[in-house]
A = this chain, B = another copy of it.
């Protein structure tokens, strides 16, 4: 697997339809008709022992008789016959099979035996299989209509440079149809069904490599290999092609429904989001988003930063764009003095000089002036892209305007996006001119802003990637002598692991319970934290076995007496091995944890302590290992990051030291992912800038 040439799938020399039907409305009949009528140039070989001929094509009794070369078999037989059909394809030298048949894993228990048979047939034959339980594949450009359902019953004339991989055929082909109606054409749509062999990620990878593709769209319910998803995101950035990902099954109800749909269990949405943000994925959750981003990226221009100039004849649209750009992370910078001086010359007294620039309807009637404005603004160094609102301008006026905008676009490589609300039929020629000039058109200002924001985001991620290789590891792999360790390690042992990786922990001493009474002075300056050390009290706070802010020797001694009583009341007979006396750390409490996700592997989660994490779920995730620069991003990503940055006169905290600690924690988790299941550093105290961080408690759980 893996070395097969997917161009055989996407540009097959011939296609066999196994289980072909003479009835053009049946699943086995639809593709015969579509391949015959919608322009496919290769061989079409119906296979069905009951017919000598189907729709005027010679029909073969079995797969073995199909002429060579034949690259793809479309399997339309009942599920029970599919495994044998795959084996026959293998013998006949057919490299790819698309299995439309349903009745495997997705129907639960009853389908499992057949699924196992199919899996074995795939393994034995070496045939690469799409499906089963999929709706097929369509590549309108070369007339490839290998599937069934309403979208396969008519010819799709709009061919574009967007490819799509979908885990739901019904949904994917519906999106295809709607996008076409909205002006976006696809070159290929592949539905993957149960993914018995070829998965969505493998296909996305192949499509990123395709020369005729600028954008890959993906509808995902879940993937099994999270790390591959991450790698693919990086490849997308390198290839300068975004993956527009529509991820569903994110809510509780949705996950349950997805599991029952394709039998795909899946990681939590927050991990997908983290993976998407690391790479070249842009999330969409509406056909309009997909169309808007497809259009934006179709122009092959990326902005150098997030600053946008808005030029509008509708003051209202300008106001709306100001809001929307801010929401979407775009900035509307003030224009340079040079630009303003130029604007003052060409614009009469009224109209706004701010950004958004409102040229007012009056001025708009003189397109010369309007385009002067656009040209001036396009040359402003503070402006990375332009959104031009032409409102309802239509007909010949729109055409003239488009022609001049096209001329301006030719003088700059900054993206220019146009919002035109003219009814499409009344501004068709203008739209075509703009299209050809690499200027995407949007029906509303808000949608243009979404396009611009997608470009800015993707460009920013590419810049981050281009900043070079990650920093080297902060520490080498440490041997932690974890052989035989099981269950939950104690606080002291857990902290030793942190120390081995260079993560600061509070100073502490462990003494016998009886020694406390005899203490003449405390080991560290007050205030202190005092804890009972016991293998029988994993939840010390609940057992009353922790006392913080102890301010004197007397208080310490009575605290130990009281804790002992409380602990024994909580768990009679609990062994108490000693008393841990710790420095009381100060600073902002944060939490850092690692877990080994079934799909994404070792993952680090970061958040502020207590309610921020537990109630507000204000946390960020990264995949271990990662460097300190990545950790820094992770830290600043939480909503409450301002607490770390400093606010209302409060000084900033030591974000650098925190980033360092998180990176080290990620190394610890990644180096020992084979034995460590979870690490919980809680609380980790962050001190003012320059004063570092310190872990006050830690817990390591072995696999």
A residues with CB within 8 A of B: 102-103, 106-108, 110, 135, 149-151, 154, 166-175, 177-178, 180-181, 219, 221, 248-254, 256-258, 260-262, 285-288, 313-320, 322-327, 332, 349-350, 352, 354, 356, 358, 360-362, 391-394, 421-424, 426, 443-444, 446-447, 611, 614-616, 639-640, 642-643, 647-648
Give complex CA distance A547, B444 in Å.
57
CB-based contact B107/A320 at 8 Å: no
Partner of A107, one of B350, B426, B614, B642: B350
Q: How far is the CA of A503 from the CA of B150 in the complex (A)?
A: 67
Asked whether A150 and B393 contact (CB < 8 A) given A316-B166, A316-B170, the answer is yes
Residue of B nearest to A358 (CB): B261
Chain B residues whose C-beta falls within 8 Å of the C-beta of A446 in the assembled complex: 285-286
Are B648 and A424 in contact, CB atoms less than 8 angstroms apart? no
B151 and A257 contacting across the interface, CB-CB below 8 Å: no
A248 x B175 contact (CB < 8 A)? no
State which of B149, B171, B285, B332 has its C-beta within 8 Å of the C-beta of A253: B332
Residues in B neighbouring A166, C-beta threshold 8 A: 316
Are A168 and B314 also in contact (CB < 8 A) when A248-B323, A327-B251 are? Answer: yes
The answer to whether A314 touches B251, judged by C-beta atoms less than 8 angstroms apart, is: no
- Cβ-neighbour of A178 out of B250, B261, B443 (below 8 A): B443
A314-B171 in contact given A150-B393, A322-B251, A616-B639 (Cβ < 8 Å): yes
A202 to chain B, nearest CB (A): 19
| A175–B332 alpha-carbon span in the complex (Å) | 24
- Since A171-B316, A174-B421, A287-B443 are in contact, a sample of 4 more A-B pairs with Cβ atoms closer than 8 Å, ordered by chain A residue number, is A151-B392, A167-B316, A257-B352, A257-B358
In the bound complex, do residue B170 and residue A391 qualify as a contact, i.e. CB atoms below 8 Å apart?
yes
Q: Are B648 and A261 in touch, CB under 8 angstroms?
A: no
Q: A422-B177, A643-B615 are in contact. Are A352 and B316 (CB under 8 A)?
A: no
Task: Let me know if A261 and B315 touch, CB within 8 A.
Answer: yes
B611 adjacent to A444 (CB under 8 Å): no
Q: Which of the residues B181, B285, B327 comes within 8 Å of A423, measured between beta carbons?
A: B181
Residue contact A444 to B178, C-beta cutoff 8 Å: yes
Identify the 7 closest CB pairs spanning chains A and B, nearest first: A168-B316, A170-B314, A171-B316, A174-B421, A261-B315, A150-B392, A254-B323
Question: Which residues of B are found within 8 Å of A349, using beta-carbon distances?
Answer: 107, 110
Chain B residues whose C-beta falls within 8 Å of the C-beta of A178 in the assembled complex: 421, 423, 443-444
Write out the residue numbers on chain B whose beta carbons fall within 8 Å of the beta carbon of A314.
Answer: 168-171, 174
Residue of B nearest to A542 (CB): B649
A170 CB contact (under 8 Å) in B149, B361, B424: B361
Q: A443-B287, A446-B286, A616-B639 are in contact. Are A317 and B174 (CB under 8 A)?
A: yes
Contact A325 B253 (CB under 8 A): yes
How far apart are the CA atoms of A629 and B590 in the complex, in Å?
36
Q: Which residue of B lies closest to A332 (CB)?
A: B253
Given known pairs A168-B317, A174-B421, A261-B316, the reply for A326 and B252 (CB within 8 Å) is: yes
Whether B647 lies near A249 (C-beta < 8 A) is no
In the complex formed, the residue of B with least CB distance to A191 is B316
- The answer to whether A251 touches B323 (Cβ under 8 A) is yes
Q: Measured between alpha carbons, how far is A252 from B324 in the docked complex, in Å?
A: 11
Chain B residues whose C-beta falls within 8 Å of the C-beta of A219 in the assembled complex? 316
Considering the chains assembled together, what is the distance between the CA atoms of A154 and B423 in angstroms? 11
Q: Of the candidates B253, B256, B322, B424, which one forms a contact with A181 in the assembled complex, judged by CB atoms under 8 Å apart?
A: B424
With the chains together, A63 CA to B545 CA distance in Å?
A: 92
Is there an interface contact between A392 and B173, defined as CB atoms closer than 8 Å?
yes
Task: Give the residues in chain B near A287, CB-CB below 8 Å.
Answer: 443-444
Structural contact, A326 and B421, CB atoms closer than 8 A: no
Min CB distance, A402 to chain B, in Å?
15
| A55 and B287 alpha carbons, distance in the complex (Å) | 47
Enumerate chain B residues within 8 angstroms of A102, measured Cβ to Cβ: 360, 362
Once A150-B422, A313-B170, A332-B253 are accepted as A-B contacts, the answer to whether A615 and B647 lie under 8 Å apart by CB is yes
22 A-B pairs, CB-CB below 8 angstroms?
A: A108-B350, A135-B361, A149-B361, A150-B392, A169-B314, A171-B316, A174-B421, A175-B444, A177-B392, A177-B421, A178-B423, A178-B444, A180-B423, A219-B316, A248-B319, A252-B326, A257-B318, A257-B352, A260-B358, A615-B642, A615-B643, A615-B647
A251 to B108, CA, bound (A): 51
User: Smallest Cβ distance from A404 to chain B, in angstroms?
Assistant: 18
Closest chain-B Cβ to A569's Cβ sits at a distance in Å of 18
Q: Contacts A260-B358, A319-B249, A423-B177; is A614 near B648 (CB within 8 Å)?
A: yes
A108 to B154, CA, bound (A): 58
Identity of the chain B residue whose Cβ is nearest the Cβ of A251 in the assembled complex = B326
Using known A-B contacts A316-B168, A323-B251, determine if residue A616 contacts B615 with beta carbons closer than 8 Å.
no
Q: A108, A170, A393: which has the most chain B beta carbons within 10 Å?
A: A170
CB of B150 within 8 A of CB of A354, answer no
